[in-house]
Amino acid sequence: MRIAAFDLGSNSFHLLIVETRPDGSFLPLVREKEMLLLGEVVARLGYLDEESIAKAVEVVGRFRAIAESNGVTEVVAYATAALREAANGPQVADRIEAETGVRVQVVNGIKEARLVFEAVRASVLMEPSPVLCADLGGGSLELVVGDAAGVRYATSLHLGVGRLTAELVQDDPLSQKDRRRLAERVDSELAEVLGDVNRHRPAQLIGTSGTFCAIARGATALREGAVPPSVNQLSVAAADVAAFAELAFSLSVGDRARLPGIDARRAELLPAGLVVLTALLESTGIGALTTSEWAMREGMVLKVLRRHDRADFSEDPRAIRQASVLALCRRSNWRERHARSVARMALDLFDGTTSLHGGSPEDRELLELAAFLHDVGEHVSPDGHGRHTSYLIENAGLRGFSPDEVRMLSCLGRYHSRGRPKESFPAFEALGPAERERVLALLALLRIADGLDSGHGDVVGSIAVEVGEAQVVLRAPARGEAELERWMFVRKSALFEEVFGLPARLSLSLGRHDRFEPEALAPAAGDG
């Protein structure tokens, strides 16, 4: 089944077309966006004029044509604040349906907030929790407090960037009077709900929408000198937001449009968005913004999937990470028996060598997921499959991972077989010194585990590790002589000895161990 979600927002109209799978996941096929800035029109006039209506009808008609050409079987179209508040909003919705055949549902702010939250909890790791999710549109700001189990509190405020810009911004560049008017309006609106928000003690601020994502890109580019390739689960410190705000406030619209990471049509809305974000950070005491690339349109798809009896989310906030990785593995025709065997042995090695690497539970989890992923590049080509694995990891839209974690997984996939990560490899170059050390330690373990299942026969059983002053000994039962595994261990242990400064020896004894049997994988909702 293919689903098309039409998200008719106050700043932009979005189209998302997905292919659903029997396990309840989905694969994005088409994404389209058109900035109409309807929220500004409604803020200025109180209604939508003929030019805006004609453009809205044209865009929805084009979206429908794209959906039909992609074999979509179900279309869902939701409109938010602009149509909700325009005096002629019902007539506009009727005209869109009459001229395009697309029935538009105008949703209230609370429903909009809940849809966004459903998408965020399927896209970003909500840890620590609870989180405050903020979706900043053209006409409204939706705030939701919740965790992986669901929503605790939701509200909608008239603080959209289109509305604020149209009503309060008069000068270019922004004047002190403009900044004061914006801050006073935002503080006044937020004051009415902050008691309810802070009562839940949110530990993380997750922002969605084009404006928050643009701020995250711009602030990161200002700090690091490069625009991040993805902003999903990108974390930007409050101090970096403040530095970017001072720069943006001092520039004209034209100069803001030339800032790295800023879309030209988003430049006019940037100051209002920065005032809203600054107020949220200061009033909650949360020290950073984390961004989500998923928003209401993905929430719409998830809602449709639930109507078709798809599985609900796990209450484990980290479940989305493994679900997202396994979705990529399935798409890549992975060799599950081999991957799980490598993961089992890699974790044995990790647990047995903690005195050497001092790794965290997060490192252990990354190692397991890297073991699942290490051969997915064979789906593209067996030759040089490490390069293909790295590419797939970086471009799969893995959910629940920070950009640095994606880079680490990319490095582990690229070099799992041989070689040492080079600074010329972009993913490794972008990591800090501590993350590079973590990659090398995990890579040393992954490479040995992969070598010990070279024949893909799950020959080697559970590994007991003995760490001595002069050497590290790995002891395990094996079915048969396991000559290939012994030979590959010698080849694959060089990096381990280099990283940890101790020689490694393998001791295999003839014996039985539990064979791998494919297990029933838990269904995963909304894997992109």
How do residues 417-438 score in pLDDT, each as one tens digit?
A: 999 999 899 999 999 999 999 9
Whose tokens are 């974690």? That residue is 405
**pLDDT value for 513:** 52
13 φ, ψ (degrees, to nearest 5): -100, 130
Cis before residue 130, ω within 30 degrees of 0?
yes
Q: Which burial class, exposed, middle or buried, applies to 228 when counting CB atoms under 10 A from its CB (0-12, 13-18, 19+)? A: middle
CA–CA gap between residue 128 and residue 109 (Å, rounded): 26
Q: What is the pLDDT of residue 317?
A: 75
| Secondary-structure class of domain 110-295 per CATH | alpha beta
Measured CA to CA in angstroms, residue 492 lies from 226, 259, 437, 461, 496 at distances of 36, 46, 18, 18, 8
Query: Which pairing describes strands 104-106 and 12-20: parallel, antiparallel, or unpaired?
Result: unpaired
Which pLDDT score is estimated for 521? 38
Structural Rg of the chain based on CA atoms: 26
DSSP state of 423: T
Domain over 319-510 is classified CATH 2.60.40.10: no
Instruction: Provide the pLDDT for residue 397.
Output: 87
Instruction: Find the DSSP H helices in 308-374.
Output: 319-331, 336-352, 354-357, 361-373
**Where does CATH 3.30.420.150 sit in the chain?**
110-295
Span(s) in the chain for CATH 1.10.3210.10: 319-510
Q: What is the pLDDT of residue 511?
A: 66
Q: List where CATH 3.30.420.40 sits in the chain.
A: 2-107
The pLDDT value given to residue 314:
57
**Exposed, middle or buried, 155 (CB in 10 Å: 0-12/13-18/19+)?**
middle
Predicted local distance difference test score (pLDDT) of residue 525: 39
DSSP 28-39: EEEEEEEE--HH
DSSP-derived letter for residue 76 is: E
CATH topology for the 2-107 domain: Nucleotidyltransferase; domain 5 (3.30.420)
- Encode pLDDT of 380-412 as tens digits: 988 889 999 999 999 988 989 999 999 999 999
**Residues 117-146: tens digit of each pLDDT:** 999 998 999 999 999 999 999 999 999 999
State which residues of the chain have pLDDT below 50.
309-313, 515-528
Residue 301: the pLDDT is 94
Q: By C-alpha distance, which of 405, 212, 404 is closest to 293? A: 212
Residue 443 to residue 421: CA distance in whole angstroms: 9
Instruction: Give the per-residue pLDDT at 371.
Output: 97
What pLDDT was estimated at residue 170?
A: 95
How far apart (Å, rounded) are the C-alpha atoms in residues 242 and 371?
A: 40
